[in-house]
Amino acid sequence: MPNAITGRHVTGSVVVVGGGFGGLQAALGLRRSGVEVTLVDRRNFHLFQPLTYQVATGALSPADVAYPLRAMFRSAPNVEVVLAEVDGFSLESREVHLSPTPGLSSAPASLPYDTLIVAAGSSYSYFGHDDWREFAAEVKTLESALAVRSHILRTFEEAEMCPDPRERDALMTFIVVGAGPTGVEMAGQIAELARGTLRNEFRVIDPGQASVVLVDTVDRVLQTFPPSLSAKAERDLRRIGVTTMTEQTVIGVDDHSVTMSDPAGAVTRLQTRTVIWAAGVTASGLAARLSEQSGAGLDAAGRITVESDLTLPGHPEIIVLGDMVRVRDETGKPITLPGVAPVAIQQGRYAAQLVRDRLGNHATPPFRYRDKGNVATIGRARAVADLHLIRLSGLPAWIVWLVIHLWYLIGFQNRIVVMIRWSFSFLTHGRSARVIDTPPVGGPELVAAGRPTPTGASQTESGRAG
């Protein structure tokens, strides 16, 4: 079959949709496989999504958490990178349909494949309230993280010049919805930015008086961690100035407030100009496209059910992985795996092995996820780590968190730069990337930050390193 980009005839062609953790590992695993690989993504870089919240709070710069896809495959002549949107699939004719990504005028109309690997990820779910996206931003993409960074810094600047005490208080109130690892880490970083980095930089306001509120409907923060580590995380959050409001269901979000309800029905309304959303995810729309043509089932979050070898039912030539799938276990029961980077990485490597085994006519055992534990950072020298055999908190857990994230970070240069930035921040409380470089859009720039990720080859799958 001739490749649509190179025109060369190959014995096997693999199209990989998505340059996130899963898709990247699949493409890397096929570099020397003898097949022609085409990696499709709407962005030209791999994003290390577990650290985008640090971009949103000025601790890291965009280039620290992004690495060019073409640079990774410079020495792999069998891998072609295509910048395009994925519009859909023709399963019978084995084609991926494309359109130009914003800013480009052309893209191949379609790509033929012998094997298709889809790792298009997920985006945040607003639980049926998509109108909240206009006011509640997420930090799952680089664009949204930059918009949130500009918005947070701009609120302090606006509070400095605001003559109305009530409006000033609203400007300096930051609400994070979702008390999972991303929400906890985001709330902790905002609190440290206000109480550490910005201290003594303003003349009218005291950034240390900013109110950071972490809200969730569950009864404790870090629900997936053991209760003892959740309690330690909550204590650390309080120590750095974060107010936790658990068992509170968000029932309203607008440009001036967040409204919540507790189990007894009591309603609380907080005035704010900044809401960060970190609660729940929904699979890429490409999962629904695959479901329509294959008949594979979808769950409430839009995840498609795949076989134990990650293939689409009835279509062994299609491998789907990452946040957009549920995997059948040995009994045939669909299992939802954690939305963390190791899951996507292991699945991407498995997909590459499956393709290689098929080329060599070898059998491949079912996919099995090896859970090595979970970590979350609360702030400077504060973290919790559940490593199964051992549970850590405080400085030891924080060191484990640093090592894990540096290990998974793509690019030697990025690792060195991030290590230097973290060392500088630890010693000085400084954040060098505090630049307001995104203009407001139609009012608060969270309008732009909160827009859903397009259906195409998203990189937002599995947004946690551990």
Active site residues: 185
Contact 396, 422 (CB under 8 A): no
Taking only Cα atoms into account, the Rg of the chain, rounded to an integer number of angstroms, comes to: 22
The dihedral built from the CA positions of residue 396, 401, 407 and 409, taken in this order, carries a sign that is: negative
Residue 177 to residue 175: CA distance in whole angstroms: 6
Report helix, strand or coil for 391: strand
Nearest to 71 by CA among 28, 17, 8, 121: 28
DSSP sequence for 315-373: EEEEEE-GGGEEEE-TTS-EEPPPSSHHHHHHHHHHHHHHHHHHHTT---PPP------
Tokens of 292: 């329509």
Tokens of 261: 């309800």
3-state secondary structure 39-83: EEECCCEEECHHHHHHHHCCCCCHHHCEEEHHHHCCCCCCEEEEE
Residue 413 to residue 411: CA distance in whole angstroms: 5
Residue 210 to residue 159: CA distance in whole angstroms: 10
